[in-house]
Amino acid sequence: MVEIDINPLLAGPAGVLALDARVKLTAAKRGLERLAIRPYPVELEEDVRIEDGPVLRLRPIRPEDEPALMRFFDRLSPETVRMRFFTSMKQLSHALAAQLTQIDYDRQMAFVLAEPGPAGPSEIHGVVRLAADPDGEQAEYAVTVEDSMTGHGIGRLLMRRLIAYAGKRGLKQIFGEVLAENATMLDFCRHLGFRIEASPEGSALMHTRLTIS
């Protein structure tokens, strides 16, 4: 829908009455034909074998993942939490966990690498997420991997999956802020082709940006 014009619109003690209305529609952007609320994208689920490890399930996050996400957070080291959230956090609140799991699949996406099985009981070992701007031109990313699972290529797997998804959605760029002291993440971004420069948010941060071809 492009616009809607209701004229006249009568309001009184008994309620509101629209006597005439005009609605202007336009074709959906290619690849975005959808319902008003985008359903869970089951077609994005896949089984993957991690390096020197078992087969895990790579899938979009579900609202039912909230308890698993909170357990995942509890297994992160304080340093990993600080690098991800730029502050110290002892626990993931219910409100924040709900916000991170109950997403709008139209403007957001979060992939989890989890044990096979239903969402909730199945443990999560890595999360990567994307939040697009309203015009769908660019999106901010974030990635977190469980400390005990580092060294198995999980971060690279998640980011490449997210970049491929961003390309299919028609995004032109993805970007994120990284602490300047986080040399490991900055090297990781360089390896993936991100451009890295000083962040306007402050000297403690670096701005990373990848143009999607």
**Of 35 and 205, the one with more pLDDT:** 205
Q: Mind listing the pLDDT tens digit for each residue in 97-132?
A: 999 999 999 889 999 999 999 999 999 999 999 999
Q: Mind listing the pLDDT tens digit for each residue in 6-41?
A: 888 888 888 888 888 888 877 655 544 555 567 899
Nearest alpha carbon to residue 130 among 164, 97, 174: 174
Token pair listed for 163: 């970049």
What is the chain's Cα-based Rg?
Answer: 21
Q: With beta carbons less than 8 A apart as the criterion, state whether 43 and 59 touch.
A: no
Plot region of 68 (φ>0 → left; ψ -120 to 50 → alpha; else → beta): alpha
Q: With beta carbons less than 8 A apart as the criterion, state whether 76 and 124 touch.
A: no
The full set of domains in the chain, from first to last, is 41-211 (3.40.630.30)
Q: What is the residue type of 3?
A: E
Whole-number Å distance between alpha carbons of 130 and 174: 8
Whole-number Å distance between alpha carbons of 8 and 130: 42
Lowest mean pLDDT among 33-47, 73-87, 157-171, 188-202: 33-47
Q: What is the residue type of 89?
A: M
Length of the chain, please?
213
Question: Distance of alpha carbon 42 from its chain centroid, rounded?
Answer: 16
* Pairing verdict, β 138-145 and 173-179: parallel
